Amino acid sequence: ELQVLHTPGHARGGICLYCQKERWLISSDALWDGDLGVLNTIIEGLDAPFVALKSLEKLASLDIDMVYPGHGGMFHDHRAAIEKCRRRLEEFIDHPASLGNDHLKKILIYTLLMKNGYPKDDLFPYLMRGLWFRPVVDAYFESRYWEKFDDLMEEFLERKIIYVADGYYLTSIKP
């Protein structure tokens, strides 16, 4: 028997599935191993980090042996993952620009994952035409589009999260 738990934050209608008897949780985007799905305050509202914290509190009260997240591998230590997420959310609340950076980083990586890479010279124009990059930069970084793109790319290239091959940006992140 599965319990459906309403766990908004990443999405207002977000849910997790909990099997009390077997002590496992399908956590969707509410909890990954130390992270969670992007908090899109433009769509979900400025209270999204606070709502996500309440969802984590709900998950912390459960007796769980195994977590099956929406992204990444399964894991056992849900309490450590929740604590790490809680610290991230508190950072987002205290320093909203860190939430904006997280959102932009995830947009960039998701784009490269969904497109299986993107031509190097075309990525910035593609992001500017899209639905998310421009509004997030407007909301958190005073419309400094190129500066934010350049900063993110520099960081990701240095950390080898993004690399260039045959004129394409690719990511080393696995879905």
pLDDT tens digits along 71-107: 889 999 999 999 999 999 999 999 999 999 999 999 9
Q: How far is CA 79 from the centre of its chain?
A: 19
Contact present, 120 and 167 (Cβ < 8 Å) = yes
Question: Do 39 and 103 have their domain in common?
Answer: no
Question: Do 82 and 162 have their domain in common?
Answer: no
Total domains present in the chain: 2
Question: Do 82 and 105 have their domain in common?
Answer: no
- What does the alpha-carbon distance between residue 153 and residue 35 come to, in Å, rounded to a whole number? 21
- Range with the lowest mean pLDDT among 25-39, 53-67, 145-159? 25-39
Q: How far is CA 143 from CA 46, 67, 105, in A?
A: 18, 39, 16
B/e letters for 31-61, b = 16+ CB within 10 Å, e = fewer, are bbbbbbbbbbbbebeeebbebbbebbeebee
Question: Do 88 and 101 have their domain in common?
Answer: no
Question: Do 106 and 167 have their domain in common?
Answer: yes
- State the CATH number of the domain containing residue 73: 3.60.15.10
Question: Do 109 and 162 have their domain in common?
Answer: yes
- What does the alpha-carbon distance between residue 171 and residue 174 come to, in Å, rounded to a whole number? 8
Residue 164 neighbours by CB distance under 10 Å: 12
DSSP state of 120: G
Per-residue pLDDT at 59: 98
Give SS3 for 159: coil
- What does the alpha-carbon distance between residue 13 and residue 6 come to, in Å, rounded to a whole number? 7
pLDDT, average across residues 158-171: 98
Q: Which sign, positive or negative, has the C-alpha torsion 99, 81, 4, 66?
A: positive
Range of the domain at 148: 97-171
Q: Is the pLDDT of residue 175 over 80?
A: no
Q: What is the CA radius of gyration of the chain?
A: 17
Chain segment 106-146, per-residue pLDDT in tens: 999 999 999 999 999 999 999 999 999 999 999 999 999 99
Question: Do 90 and 158 have their domain in common?
Answer: no
Question: Do 63 and 24 have their domain in common?
Answer: yes
Q: pTM above the 0.85 mark?
A: yes
Contact present, 1 and 44 (Cβ < 8 Å) = no
Chain segment 45-58, per-residue pLDDT in tens: 999 999 999 999 99
